């Protein structure tokens, strides 16, 4: 699918089952039946969107690709079969914004980032193939920022691997842990990852990004 750079378009898609029928039953997971992550191949331009479904199973969402290049869209959902069985799946597809693609190098690895006046820092070191706790703390100036629930959780963490664009989406296992929120992250293998933490303060969602190298 092609999107002119910087112009508001609409992404439309269907999820099909093994018999190529459009799936129309989805479980609500974290308040939404469909989570759509869109990012350019160099892991810039991250967007987390929530499409809406027409009765025939066609999903649509307004989408603007802000810079030229190939972008990856991940549809993250749980399909409900006729017998009620649920299958959690993430499917990916490429989107194109025509023009000269000038990929940016990943930012240097860091455990602290700033976004919209907040400082976000985490503790923990992801290891390939084993669950590792990552503890994030969000502060505004010297004080801890009062995190609010966003889509049923105090934070959403998406990790994407440079190169193959492998996708991981995790939620905190419990609520807040003091002023921090902890995720158990299991990365599938070595590489450089870009992690995106969505969090909400005062009704506004912010996204902090971190580069991490997994040996
Ligand atoms: Cu979502």
Provide the residues around ligand 1 (an ion) whose CB is within 5 A: 35
User: Sign of dihedral through CA atoms 90, 96, 97, 99?
Assistant: positive
Ligand 1: centre distance to CA 130 (Å) = 25
pTM: 0.93
The number of beta carbons lying within 10 Å of the beta carbon of residue 147 is 20
Q: Tell me the mean pLDDT in the region 108-121.
A: 96
Ligand 1: centre distance to CA 32 (Å) = 7
Q: What are phi and psi of 29, to 5 degrees?
A: -125, 125
Q: For 41-95, write each residue's pLDDT tens digit.
A: 999 999 999 999 999 999 999 999 999 999 999 999 999 988 999 999 999 999 9
Cα–Cα distance measured from residue 50 to residue 39, given in angstroms and rounded to the nearest whole number: 14
pLDDT given for residue 119 in this prediction? 96
Ligand 1: centre distance to CA 198 (Å) = 9
Cross-strand pairs, 55: none
* Terminal Cα-to-Cα distance of the chain (whole angstroms): 35
Ligand 1: centre distance to CA 144 (Å) = 25
Cα–Cα distance measured from residue 166 to residue 188, given in angstroms and rounded to the nearest whole number: 9
Alpha-helical segments (H) within the chain: none
pLDDT given for residue 151 in this prediction? 85
* Whole-number Cα distances in Å, 72 to 28, 52, 93, 166: 23, 19, 6, 11
Cα–Cα distance measured from residue 112 to residue 122, given in angstroms and rounded to the nearest whole number: 7
Q: Tell me the mean pLDDT in the region 176-201.
A: 90
Ligand 1: centre distance to CA 131 (Å) = 22
**Among the listed residues 175, 192, 33, 178, the one whose alpha carbon sits nearest the alpha carbon of residue 106:** 192
User: Sign of dihedral through CA atoms 105, 72, 173, 141?
Assistant: positive
Q: What is the DSSP letter of 60?
A: E
Ligand 1: centre distance to CA 35 (Å) = 4
Ligand 1: centre distance to CA 60 (Å) = 14
Written as six digits, the tokens of 120 are 């976000």
Ligand 1: centre distance to CA 80 (Å) = 18
Ligand 1: centre distance to CA 105 (Å) = 26
pLDDT(176) > 80: no
* Whole-number Cα distances in Å, 114 to 15, 40, 99, 139, 210: 36, 21, 30, 10, 10
């Amino acid at each position: 699918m092609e999107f002119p750079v910087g112009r508001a378009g609409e992404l439309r898609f269907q999820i099909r089952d093994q018999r190529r029928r459009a799936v129309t039953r989805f479980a609500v997971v974290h308040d939404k039946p469909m989570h759509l992550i869109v990012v350019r191949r160099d892991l810039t331009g991250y967007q987390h969107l929530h499409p809406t479904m027409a009765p025939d199973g066609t999903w649509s969402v307004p989408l603007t690709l802000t810079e030229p290049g190939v972008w990856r869209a991940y549809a993250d959902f749980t399909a409900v079969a006729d017998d009620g069985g649920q299958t959690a799946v993430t499917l990916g597809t490429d989107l194109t914004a025509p023009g000269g693609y000038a990929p940016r190098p990943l930012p240097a690895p860091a455990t602290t980032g700033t976004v919209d006046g907040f400082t976000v820092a985490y503790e923990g070191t992801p290891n390939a193939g084993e669950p590792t706790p990552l503890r994030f703390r969000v502060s505004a100036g010297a004080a801890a920022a009062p995190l609010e629930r966003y889509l049923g959780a105090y934070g959403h963490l998406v990790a994407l691997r440079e190169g193959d664009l492998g996708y991981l989406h995790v939620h905190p296992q419990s609520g807040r842990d003091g002023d921090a929120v902890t995720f158990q992250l299991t990365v599938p293998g070595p590489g450089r990852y870009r992690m995106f933490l969505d969090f909400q303060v005062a009704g506004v969602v912010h996204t902090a990004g971190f580069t991490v190298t997994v040996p």
